Amino acid sequence: MPQTSISCDIPEIRITAPHDVMPNMSGEYVLYWMTAYRRTDSNYALQRAAQWSEELKKPLIILEPLRVGYRWANDRMHQFVVAGMRDNAIALQKENVTYYPYLEKKRGEGSGLIEALATKAAVVVGDEYPCFFLKHLPKWFAARASCRYEIVDSNGLMPLRIPDKIFTVAHSYRRFMQKQVDTLLAQRPLTKVLSHFQLPSPQPIAKEILRKWPMAEIAFNNKPFDWSDFDIDHSVAPTEMVGGRKEALRRWKNFLSLRSIRYDEDRNHPDTDGSSALSPYLHFGHISAHEMFFDVLEHENFRVEQLARPNGKVNGFWNVSPSIEAFLDQLLTWREIGFNQCFLDRHYDSYRSLPTWVRATLQKHAADKRDYVYSLAEFEEARTHDPVWNAAQRQLVKEGRIHNYLRMLWGKKILHWSRSPEEALDIMVELNNKYALDGRDPNSYSGIFWVLGRYDRPWGPERPIFGTIRYMSSDSTLKKIHLKKYLKNFES
Ligand SMILES: Cc1cc2nc3c(=O)[nH]c(=O)nc-3n(C[C@H](O)[C@H](O)[C@H](O)COP(=O)(O)OP(=O)(O)OC[C@H]3O[C@@H](n4cnc5c(N)ncnc54)[C@H](O)[C@@H]3O)c2cc1C
């Protein structure tokens, strides 16, 4: 008798069935549709698909597509994703699965692929991601799915469905998270997912499917891909940051063994930049928050007895070194509060999602005189009067990232020098998501909306334009943080 559920180690709260029917027992295979967790390890969705494959004794196909028709699709993002596909192709070479990387070249060419593959599938398992166009995929596909379709939440330590409200300040989210610590410590996807299962022999993709949607030829080297034939924005060039799991793990090991010790001191200074620079890898799913969390705890020889009572404070809960306490706060509180917002608020990316007090104070100052007003093009080309701001924008355009402290200043000044807060929001979203490798992420919206007051409180004195929204200036930034080298690096 086919079952709609199988016993598994994946917490049920992470599995949802948008098309909740029995597996199709005459289906030929189980299909894993990889769209957000682009990795072969530490991935609950792949784990779920492998479980179905073992249980139903049907081969596993992994489809990793990259389409062109999404907003901000450009050479930079595509190069990063393709590097991840290469790593997946290598990792899966010796596994009992069929890996099917697909690159859409022209808009619409990829349409119909997932439906065609699903026709012969027993079960389709997909990733659940609460932001950008991926947020809407499950509803779209559920209306078309011809077999059982499940989505799995492997985003972070806190399952998306545990909080039943949107948290408006970090302190209350942190306290909530600390109270769930037993759950966080108990849930961990398998590190090496596929080696855990007895999978049937792989099945080749049907010829008629490959004729219409040829498998991407992913070179097993790091050479830049030729994107000229692809319907994407070629004005945003790839950066030196190489995507993929191999590079993510290299950076992560390097951070853990060398740089994490000074994270709390070095992180805020662009000249020493002690942060992990892993946000693009987290964004594209090349590394998981789970592996980072458990590695960090192991690195600190953490024992459960060290835990303090939940108090919502940044320090003193995990009772590990100050640097790691600070790092865990970014990973568990600041990263995951954004997932909470995107998951529960369908207006997460619109101005109206801001708290009432924020909109009221910005509205009160909407007509205030602005000494400087720049257009999107002037911001984009770093043509403001402020060398610190221009340097940050140049780093974004060139490297696809901005140092975290300067990213806050970058946003605050866009608010300061735009015609209105609504226009400032549009400009931040456009520039961040177009150039930042970690853009189009729940954190993108946390950061950008934080600039406008989300997760914050009113700050005095009340000022022009900002009202009681927290203010930042380049002068005070120059006094507080070390950025001489940084300014030199990005002076033109
Ligand atoms: C205007 C603005 C826009 C932003 N846009 C993005 C974005 O598009 N994508 C993005 O991932 N982050 C964004 N952030 C948050 C933050 O700047 C980056 O997460 C951080 O700089 C990434 O660098 P890192 O990986 O070296 O972080 P680390 O300091 O090494 O921290 C580890 C991880 O914790 C999380 N994290 C760290 N700081 C924050 C933070 N302030 N908010 C949320 N999560 C955090 C990230 O996942 C990060 O990779 C934005 C912040 C602002 C102010």
Q: What is the pLDDT of residue 272?
A: 84
Residue that has been written with the tokens 């699965």 in this structure: 97
Report helix, strand or coil for 100: strand
Lowest mean pLDDT of 19-28, 70-79, 252-261, 405-414, name the range: 252-261
**Would you say the CB of residue 276 lies under 6 angstroms from ligand 1?**
yes
Question: Quick one: average pLDDT of 172-184?
Answer: 97
For the chain, the straight-line distance linking the first and the last C-alpha, in angstroms and rounded, comes to 68
Q: Which domains does the chain have, with CATH numbers?
A: 1-154 (3.40.50.620), 245-344 (1.25.40.80), 351-489 (1.10.579.10)
Question: Quick one: average pLDDT of 4-16?
Answer: 79
The ligand 1 atom nearest the CA atom of 331: 34
pLDDT at 171 over 60: yes
Tell me how far CA of residue 161 lies from CA of 34, 352, 468, in angstroms.
21, 24, 33
Nearest CA to ligand 1 atom 26: 277
State in Å: Cα 273 to ligand 1 middle: 13
Closest CA to 117 of 62, 38, 41, 192: 62
State in Å: Cα 274 to ligand 1 middle: 13
pLDDT at 4 over 80: no
Closest CA to 444 of 252, 260, 283: 283
Long-range contacts formed by 414-418: CB under 8 A, 24+ apart? 414/379, 414/451, 415/451, 415/452, 415/465, 415/466, 415/469, 416/370, 416/372, 416/465, 416/466, 417/370, 417/372, 417/373, 417/374, 417/379, 417/384, 418/370, 418/373, 418/374
Q: What is the pLDDT of residue 219?
A: 73
Q: What is the pLDDT of residue 265?
A: 85
State in Å: Cα 18 to ligand 1 middle: 31
Mean pLDDT score of the chain: 95
Ligand 1 pocket: which of 256, 404, 429, 472 to mutate (most atoms <8 Å of CB)?
404
pLDDT at 306 over 80: yes
**Would you say the CB of residue 438 lies under 6 angstroms from ligand 1?**
yes
Question: DSSP for 16-71?
Answer: EEEE-----TT--EEEEE-SS---SBS-HHHHHHHHHHHHHT--EEEEEEE-S-ST
The ligand 1 atom nearest the CA atom of 432: 8
**Would you say the CB of residue 427 lies under 6 angstroms from ligand 1?**
no
Ligand 1 pocket: which of 399, 443, 446, 452 to mutate (most atoms <8 Å of CB)?
443
Nearest CA to ligand 1 atom 19: 279
* Ramachandran assignment for 473, one of left (phi > 0), alpha (psi -120 to 50 degrees), beta (any other): beta
Residue of 435 and 272 predicted with greater confidence: 435
**Would you say the CB of residue 50 lies under 6 angstroms from ligand 1?**
no
pLDDT-based confidence at residue 266 (cuts at 50, 70, 90): confident
In contact, 6 and 148? CB cutoff 8 Å = no
pLDDT at 278 over 50: yes
Other Cβ atoms within 10 Å of 320 Cβ, number = 20
Cβ burial 360-387 (10 Å sphere, 16+ → b, else e): ebbeebeeeeeeeebeeeebbebebebe
Question: Quick one: average pLDDT of 124-132?
Answer: 98
Q: What is the pLDDT of residue 359?
A: 98
**Would you say the CB of residue 330 lies under 6 angstroms from ligand 1?**
yes
Proportion of the chain above pLDDT 90, given as a percent:
92
Strand-pair category, 15-19 with 148-152: antiparallel
| Whole-angstrom distance, CA of residue 194 vs CA of residue 17 | 22
Question: Quick one: average pLDDT of 232-254?
Answer: 97
Q: What is the pLDDT of residue 428?
A: 98
Structure-token pair, residue 244: 């993929």
* Ramachandran assignment for 400, one of left (phi > 0), alpha (psi -120 to 50 degrees), beta (any other): left
pLDDT at 105 over 80: yes
433-491 pLDDT, tens digit each:
999 999 999 999 999 999 999 999 999 999 999 999 999 999 999 999 999 999 999 99
Q: What is the pLDDT of residue 1?
A: 35
Q: Is the pTM of this model over 0.95?
A: yes
| Whole-angstrom distance, CA of residue 79 vs CA of residue 190 | 28
* The residue count for the chain: 492
| Whole-angstrom distance, CA of residue 384 vs CA of residue 374 | 7
356-412 pLDDT, tens digit each:
999 999 999 999 999 999 999 999 999 999 999 999 999 999 999 999 999 999 999
| Whole-angstrom distance, CA of residue 323 vs CA of residue 265 | 8
| Strands of 175-281, DSSP E | none
186-222 pLDDT, tens digit each:
999 999 999 999 999 999 999 999 999 999 988 776 6
In contact, 127 and 33? CB cutoff 8 Å = yes
pLDDT-based confidence at residue 8 (cuts at 50, 70, 90): low
pLDDT at 2 over 80: no
**Would you say the CB of residue 446 lies under 6 angstroms from ligand 1?**
yes
Closest CA to 30 of 96, 90, 94: 96
DSSP state of 123: E
Q: Where are the alpha helices (DSSP H) in 271-353?
A: 279-283, 289-299, 322-328, 335-344
Amino acid at 298: E
| Whole-angstrom distance, CA of residue 326 vs CA of residue 475 | 26
pLDDT at 143 over 50: yes
